[in-house]
Copies of this chain bind each other. A is one copy, B any other.
Amino acid sequence: MRISEKFVHLNTEHVGFSLEFSPAKTTQGMQNLYDRIERMAAYGPAFIDITWGAGGSHSNLTTEMVATAQADFGLDTMMHLICTGMEQGKFEAALQESYNAGCQNILALRGDPPRDKEKWEATDGGFKYAVDLVRYIRKKYGDYFDICVAGYPEGHPECSTASESIQHLKDKVDAGANFIITQMFYDVDNYIDWVQKCRAAGISCPIIPGIMPIQSWDAFLRRAKWMNATIPKHFLDELEPVKDDDAQVRERGTKLMVQMCQRLIETGTVHLHFYTMNLEKATKMILEGLGLLQQGDTCTNKPPLPWQRSLTLKRSKEDVRPIFWKNRQKSYIARTQEWDEFPNGRWGDSKSPAFGDHHGYGLGLRVKHEQVYELWGHPSSYTDVSNIFVKYLKGELQCLPWSETPMSSEGGYIRDQLIRVNEMGYLTINSQPAVASVKSSHPDFGWGPPNGYVYQKAYLEMFVHPDLLDSLLSNAERDPLVGYYAVGKSGELRTNMPKEGATAVTWGVFPCREIVQPTIVEANSFLAWRDEAYQLGNDWSKSYRSTSASRKLLDELVKSWVLCVIVHNDYHDKDAIFRIFDGLKAVSDLRQQASDH
């Protein structure tokens, strides 16, 4: 989405913000950064932006990060593009990748001179000024991209006068830029004055102040100097006395930045841009201080779908997913990334597109061996395993091999029943409660546009001991409103569902729209997920030494237990799905039985 469309919904009562990140230098650094971006995405930024790899050496990481943010995190993203060291063909390639990622926002910069050169020079066949880049993008892509340009409230170092600098800015806007983000500054009075001059000069597009959080004394001074930012006296008065205590600097710095942002908002600012420097804490503290942290993206009340939408071009029409990757969305995106066309609501009926192989990056268990022991210990009995699942349900564990994220808030509605089922030894790895007609604004179940109603059929996905399977399925078959799929690591699918088609388990009814049915249960995807589900169990098992009791136990589980998904079709009866377990044996009863003989 073009960012300018978001600005129109903002006002000083509903202030938006954005977060800037830069490619990290190592693979591990990139992984940590992705985790951080995902966490910070929950703060609710209107968009994030990714700087262009300095000197071009990390530029492929920039386009990768843009694509990941759009696809995996569903974040509207702006890609930086600089003139430094770029031949013309490179602009075209970068813009095309941005286009394919569904990214519609470019920050067009001249860029700093390369580290080995004092003075900026255009690359042969490249552009000399940001304004040339703006013109190039407009000419090649029409209005497809929003173009942002940089503003310099304290003047550009290479411009002799403030008015010359403003004239250059106006040239960029006239060439087609949609909005302006400023360089960092601490002098608010000067900024307000500069904005007025810009307006007087005929610049009417949105101007977004760039905010640099204060992380430490040294960094504060260094960055201000590098960016030629004047430091007001009261900043120094506050910070210098505690300059050797980073925590104190950050705390006092936060107060200063919150005051500064409040002043900006009072004088009409509706959006703040944060230079995070890839750090989390200082930005979070300012957002908290401003009361923006919980508020989230002020442009939308609820996400458009109950899962995180991908924003890449190819996936723009995607409006349905099978339930099985609910707790492993990245894996789903990776496995379906080669799909040319998303089935767009008719998933079940369409030619079933193959699910990609599951041996890709990040598709196996991503937890390291030491973490495995710390998280899940060394189970030596099925009761131990049950207890791990119960601890997860109680919120005492943050993840399971099959769930990368903690228990969801909607899970709370059926926590007690899930605990009972897991204590019996039916190991649930995915579930949702039945919901009959709640408003689309509901805090836990809501999604989609306002004034709608959303619904869910209850489902449970679980591993079942092979000796318990027949009674479970015969209980399920006794209720004409229950559908199930069951399959072992290898072997045939058992089901009472229709061979073709899908069961919608989440749907929404909204004003002036067709019915939206974004999650389904369906056989082809279940069989594709089956392989991944058993692989994850296998990965867990392999974390233990080959002679250990845990390894033996988990290998047995993977080998013989059966993966089942059960849907209850009467969404008006919230407890119905759990009544299937009434009168069933527990795994501990089997052991008892065995030892009785």
Contacts and interface: CB of A to CB of B under 8 A. Distances in A.
Contact of A511 (B481, B510, B515, B520): B481
A437 B510 CA distance: 15
Given A507-B515, A512-B567, A451 B480 contact: yes
Interface stretch (A24-32, A60-68, A328-336, A343-351): A343-351
Interface string A489-528: 0000000011001111001011111110100100000000
A453 B451 CA distance: 21
A424 B511 CA distance: 27
Interface residues of A, number: 34
Interface stretch (A216-224, A249-257, A569-577): A569-577
Contacts of A514: 348, 501-504, 517, 520
Nearest to A496: B512
Nearest to A520: B514
B507 A512 contact: no
B512 A572 contact: no
Given A451-B569, A569-B451, A498 B512 contact: yes
A513 B500 CA distance: 9
Copies of this chain present: 2
A479 to B, nearest CB: 10
A287 to B, nearest CB: 31
Contacts of A344: 346, 349
B513 A504 contact: yes
A509 B437 contact: no
A274 interface: no
Nearest to A568: B511
Contacts of A570: 451
User: Interface majority SS on A: helix, strand, loop or mixed?
Assistant: loop
A275 interface: no
A483 interface: yes
A194 to B, nearest CB: 41
A242 to B, nearest CB: 53
A461 to B, nearest CB: 16
Contacts of A481: 451, 511
A572 B567 CA distance: 26
Contacts of A571: 509
Nearest to A498: B512
Contacts of A512: 483, 497-498, 501, 503, 567, 569
Interface pairs A-B: 10 shortest CB-CB: A511-B569, A483-B512, A503-B512, A504-B514, A515-B517, A497-B512, A504-B515, A515-B515, A507-B515, A502-B514
Given A498-B512, A509-B571, A511-B569, 13 more contacts: A345-B345, A346-B346, A451-B480, A451-B481, A451-B570, A481-B511, A498-B513, A503-B513, A504-B513, A504-B515, A507-B515, A512-B567, A512-B569
28 contacts: A344-B346, A345-B345, A345-B346, A346-B346, A348-B514, A437-B437, A437-B572, A451-B481, A451-B570, A453-B572, A455-B509, A480-B511, A483-B511, A483-B512, A497-B512, A498-B512, A502-B513, A502-B514, A503-B511, A503-B514, A504-B509, A504-B514, A507-B509, A507-B515, A509-B571, A510-B569, A512-B567, A514-B520
